Every structure is written in structure tokens, then in C-alpha cells.
Amino acid sequence: MDANILVNTYGKKLTLLTKKQRVVFDLLSSGMMIKDIATHLQLADITVKVIKARIMVLLTANTLQDLAIIGKCIQCKFIKD
């Protein structure tokens, strides 16, 4: 798939995330573990798991590796709400 198409596709999908989902997405895609994210954001582990599940549905990602790949997209990094 063309890089520009990927950037546009995931750029549009990232705008669908809420601010909290975007924070969790950024932390997950940087390799942080759910337990560490929960501690960092002062949330329960299960809350972070639910947010992660919703992110994966919205971004049509099947694995955490998919999230990491989306997160590494340089142009997508600059799409912030």
C-alpha cells in the first residue's frame, strides 16, 4: 500500500480517538505496558484494557504490533487534537 494512503487513512482514524484514547495509544505504541500506563495515568488496569480494546476497534488493528506501526508513522505523530 502506498505510504501517502496509509498516512491519510490512519491520520483520519486517529482523529476519531478521544484525548484519553490518544494518550493511551501514544503510550502503547511507544512500548509501554498496560500496568505501567495505568499507574502513570492513575487508572485501573481494566480501564486501560477497555480503552485499548476500543482503540484497536477504531483503528482496525489486530495486534499491539499493528498499533506500534501506526504510531511510528511520522505524519500521524503530528495529528493531535
Q: How far is it, in rounded angstroms, from Cα 11 to Cα 18?
A: 14
Work out the average pLDDT over 50-71: 88
* Percent of the chain whose pLDDT exceeds 70: 80
The DSSP output letter for 56 is H
- Per-residue confidence (pLDDT) for residue 50, from 0 to 100: 97
- Per-residue confidence (pLDDT) for residue 72, from 0 to 100: 76
- What are the backbone dihedrals phi and psi of residue 46, each rounded to the nearest 5 degrees, phi first? -65, -35
Average pLDDT value for the chain: 83
Rg of the chain over all Cα atoms, to the nearest angstrom: 12
CA 21 to chain centre: 7
User: Is 3-77 assigned to CATH 1.10.10.10?
Assistant: yes
* Per-residue pLDDT tens over the stretch 36-57: 999 999 999 999 999 999 999 9
